[in-house]
Amino acid sequence: MPIEFHAQSRTFHLHNRQMSYIFKVLPSGHLGQLYCGRAIHDRSSFDHLFEAVPRSMSVCYFDGDQSYSLEHIKQEYPTYGTGDMHLPALDAQMPDGSRLLDLRYQGHAIVPGKPAIPGLPATYTEDPAEAQTLTVDLADPLAGVTVTLSYTLFEQLPALARHAVIGYTGPGVLRLERALSFCLDLPDMDYEMVELAGAWARERHVVARPLAQGVQGVYSLRGCSSHHFNPFLALKRPHATEFEGQVLGFSLVYSGNFLAQADVDPYHVTRVTLGIHPQNFTWQLAAGGHFTTPEAVMVYSEAGLNGMSQTFHRLYRTRLARGPWRDKVRPILVNNWEATYFDFTEDKLLALARQARDLGIELFVLDDGWFTNRSDDHGGLGDWEINYHKLPDGLQGFGQKLHDMGLQFGLWIEPEMVNAGTRLWNEHPDWVLHQPGRRPQQGRYQYVLDYSNPDVVDWVFHRLVSVLDGAGVDYIKWDMNRSISDAYSCAVGPAGQGAVLHRYILGVYQLYSLLTERYPNILFESCAGGGARFDPGLLYYAPQCWTSDDTDAVERLKIQYGTSMAYPVSSMGAHVAAAPNHQLGRSTSLTMRANVAFFGAFGYELDLTALSQRGRELVARQVAFVKQYRQLLQFGTFWRLRSPFEGNETAWMTVSPDRSTALVGDYRVLQQANAGYRRLPLAGLDPDRLYQVTRLGSGAQPAGTPLTAYGDELMAAGLVTTGEDPAAEGDFVSRLYLLQPAEL
């Protein structure tokens, strides 16, 4: 039983074999946090873990009891008005102008499994035995506010999912201005905060810093989870590494504006909060109404950052992603974007497709530019009318030609946007997010449709259905190429404006639901100008995401390494692009480019018809290699071995569930003259198994004589990777190693 309630001490102990999470109903009726960490024995009371000391200048909850100050008591869902002076989890304004809230325990329930969260993406169970869910009801009768906190602990994973439902019983209207999903008060600040930060084309770089007193955190106010920060943070003990030590990982299952922060108080208590960003957020609740927050997931690891990531990978790959593609290896694709950009004819596309087919590629993705008035990025978005000049037989005819070749057909859409001058723009100016009388701001020459308005979502759905029905589409890349800056909806009055950005994301989720229900077999890949919406929310609908517009292999080392902190390899779109690279002008070998992209949802994004004979041979071999090993590459246990953020070398590997087979990627950015010796300790192997280690050269073909070694040796002594001839190898070198069971 992972969740126990000890009635006498009024204590909840959520535990499985790997972690314990303990809180209790305090004498005041508030929820006090007692412990979060390694699994410990259950007891009928953990009251001795309750800490309260009298501190001068504190406000006390009970007259005369100086030690009982909610400012200094670790809590589960704190509010303002009880003596707690820190940033709260919940903030609301009552009709009388008060912001005072005092939520006290009313009751609780424990159910098997995990109930769905209506309208929102969330982790789930397939069998009720996989988890238990605790809901705790709190209320402030004077304010008319109720809160139900939900906690799901998974039986087999050190992962806890939380969200809150806020209700209002009246009178009048409540203005909810901060409704966070998650709050945890930790008893010390001996952590480093790890975040994923960046910008367009360098998304999700790993940044770590020691906690200090005060607030540190990440956020987005762009209407999407953003290139710049990710709805993720981790707290790791200072000595924790990729392989060892305690780490707490936090992730928000949401795709819009978010806040994730650690707030350290003067007594070193660290309050971790995650949720919708309160800026630009006001949700009005009339009597009987309620608001449901997105879900946040906390993961506990004692096996360092790799341990944390492996739990996120397993949970998000198998119990967040859904649909028939969840467990299937992904087709090898060619995308025409970097091959042609907007400059294509059907003949050109079909020549690319034929070449792709001949090399063994399985899916052809027609990117931006297939619809009318789209010869560049200045026009065309919104009407979704097929450009018969470019595709004489329409999408259906084009799709048929691909299918006749034996290829699957993929299509790009950007359904949240409109360009000026389109019919949609002219007929429905009020469907664009903007304030009447104020010039709307454009980004990439386009404007954002008001997805907070259900009529818009409905219209786009039917428009897309008329394009997609019968077109034989097997894959959709859903793009979103600008931040939202004018969050004002013409569809609602003043009282509704604070809800627009959240309703926008709910509209995106709604359209995803409608499309995935109508086309259950289509593989969806989300995208936002590269990786501006690589978040758990969209993984619920689209099991893979375009990781970054940066296709340079060297930059991808950092991007894929950082992305793997929270997201599984199967979710990372990774393509081999041209050399010189279109974003950086850097030239790397076809082998280096593929050796990086192999660890992702693999594809090509270059003009394959321009390859030399040798290039074509290499691509054919790479494709054959992925077909042979993609189950392992995409669904194996992924280990980060060497960080690109700490030096010139990067290494990672993936191991099959039975630990019999593994693939190691080892990369060196710049060559070194007369370099020292190199050994690469591996991870995740069976120490007692004898492996045959084969180095794979260009085209992922075996090179050199295989080595035989036990798993313990490969993990302790490491794999000797000392270079060959530096002058011959040059910069941007990569090696792959295949580990297979050796004959005894």
Considering only residues 40 to 99 of the shown chain, the ones binding ligand DGJ according to CB under 6 A are: none
> Which residues lie below 8 Å from residue 32, measured CB to CB, with a gap of 6+?
23, 24, 25, 26, 50, 73, 74, 75, 76
Considering only residues 541 to 580 of the shown chain, the ones binding ligand DGJ according to CB under 6 A are: 546, 549
Residue 654's nearest CA partner among 635, 628, 679 is 635
Task: Give CA–CA dist 541/544, Å, rounded.
Answer: 9
Residue 221's nearest CA partner among 526, 487, 497 is 487
Write the single-letter amino acid at 675: A
- State how far Cα 8 lies from the chain centre: 41
DSSP 504-542: HHHHHHHHHHHHHHHSTTPEEEE-BTTBTT-SHHHHTT-
- Give the residue with the Cβ less far from ligand DGJ, 50 or 445: 445
Total residues interacting with ligand DGJ, rule: CB under 6 A: 11
Residue of closest CB approach to ligand DGJ: 368
- Give the residue with the Cβ less far from ligand DGJ, 480 or 709: 480
- Select the span of 72-80, 106-114, 310-318, 525-533 touching ligand DGJ (CB under 6 A): 525-533
Considering only residues 463 to 522 of the shown chain, the ones binding ligand DGJ according to CB under 6 A are: 479, 481
Nearest distance from C-beta of residue 605 to ligand DGJ, angstroms: 8
- Select the span of 243-251, 304-312, 462-470, 523-531 touching ligand DGJ (CB under 6 A): 523-531
How many Cα atoms are found within 13 Å in the side-chain-facing hemisphere of 553?
31
Nearest distance from C-beta of residue 525 to ligand DGJ, angstroms: 10
Which of 263, 479, 486, 535 is catalytic? The answer is: 479
- Give the residue with the Cβ less far from ligand DGJ, 408 or 446: 446
Active site residue 47: no
Q: At what angle do helices 590-597 and 553-563 cross, to 10 degrees?
A: 10
Residue matched to tokens 């299937």: 328
Active site residue 479: yes
Residue matched to tokens 């800026």: 279
Considering only residues 316 to 345 of the shown chain, the ones binding ligand DGJ according to CB under 6 A are: 337
**What is the number of residues in the chain?**
744
Nearest distance from C-beta of residue 290 to ligand DGJ, angstroms: 37
Regarding 530 and contact with ligand DGJ (CB under 6 A), the answer is: yes
| DSSP label at residue 441 | P
- Select the span of 45-53, 84-92, 526-534, 710-718 touching ligand DGJ (CB under 6 A): 526-534
Nearest distance from C-beta of residue 365 to ligand DGJ, angstroms: 9
Tell me if the bond preceding 2 is cis, omega within 30° of 0: no
Nearest distance from C-beta of residue 418 to ligand DGJ, angstroms: 14
Which of 91, 102, 474, 549 is catalytic? The answer is: 549
Task: Give CA–CA dist 461/441, Å, rounded.
Answer: 25
- Give the residue with the Cβ less far from ligand DGJ, 444 or 462: 444
Nearest distance from C-beta of residue 528 to ligand DGJ, angstroms: 7
- State how far Cα 724 lies from the chain centre: 39
Regarding 382 and contact with ligand DGJ (CB under 6 A), the answer is: no
Nearest distance from C-beta of residue 579 to ligand DGJ, angstroms: 18
Q: How many CB atoms lie within 10 A of CB 611?
A: 18
Regarding 600 and contact with ligand DGJ (CB under 6 A), the answer is: no
The helices-and-strands tally (H runs, E runs) of the chain is 13, 38
Q: DSSP 3-state assignment of 404?
A: helix
Active site positions, annotated: 479, 549
Note the residues at the interface with ligand DGJ (CB under 6 A). 337, 367-368, 412, 479, 481, 527, 529-530, 546, 549
